[in-house]
Chains A and B, each alone.
Chain A
Amino acid sequence: EVQLVQSGAEVKKPGESLKISCKGSGYSFTNYWIGWVRQMPGKGLEWMGIIWPGDSDTRNSPSFQGQVTISADKSISTAYLQWSTLKASDTAMYYCARGSGTYPYFDYWGQGTLVTVSS
């Protein structure tokens, strides 16, 4: 069974750093893309970026370029989303999703990680 299990909810202060994770199981982690999607409170889905864990080839949305870092450790089948300096506006639910196909669609999703940034 394909599963993506994300790390738990986080409460952080502005200016702090954070790294959340997404662990894949039940499939060959290095042969599928992993994408990250933001959903701000009461708002829609926003595509942030995507990584090929096999070689860490990463593509970022222009909207998020320089704001977050996407990485992966294929030895433990885990992808990451990282911030160096959090802002209150980073408060959101973050989903990882497996990308399938040549121009991927997202067929399996993690349960989401809620990040709250507040002083």
Chain B
Amino acid sequence: QSALTQPRSVSGSPGQSVTISCTGTSSDVGGFNYVSWYQQHPGKAPKLMIYDVTKRPSGVPDRFSGSKSGNTASLTISGLQAEDEADYYCCSYAGSYTWVFGGGTKLTVL
């Protein structure tokens, strides 16, 4: 079970959009529609931002959206705000009630 592949860092200016990719295999991302995304600010616990590839929990701004194509899932953040600066992790169901996280992406708001 290898970690999903995410870019180590992305950046954008306030108001812009950024997309974070998460690449796995047909045994995880490509095989199931159970990808979730988590935001983690320094020193804080992770927070659920997207689940089941595209669904947003209540309270998460609609600036956050998720998608998937083949073995790659993506998180898009539109209308970037300073408070979006954080680490982002994808997570995929990998069968037999096991999960795998991505390596994480540091988002910098310029």
B104's partner among A44, A47, A101, A110 (CB-CB below 8 A) is A44
Which residues of B lie under 8 Å from residue A44 when comparing CB positions?
Answer: 3, 87, 89, 101-104
Report the minimal beta-carbon distance from A29 to chain B, rounded to whole angstroms. 19
- The answer on a CB contact under 8 Å between A106 and B36 is yes
What number of residue pairs across chains A and B have CB atoms under 8 A from each other?
65
- The answer on a CB contact under 8 Å between A103 and B46 is no
Which residues of A lie under 8 Å from residue B103 when comparing CB positions?
Answer: 44
- The answer on a CB contact under 8 Å between A107 and B101 is no
Task: Give the interface residue-count category, chain A.
Answer: 20 to 34
* B70-110 contacts to A (CB < 8 Å): 87, 89, 91, 93, 96-104
**Residues of chain B at the chain A interface (Cβ within 8 Å):** 1, 3, 32, 34, 36, 38, 40, 45-48, 51-52, 57, 87, 89, 91, 93, 96-104
**Residues of chain A at the chain B interface (Cβ within 8 Å):** 35, 37, 44-47, 50, 59, 61-63, 95, 97, 101, 103, 105-107, 109-112
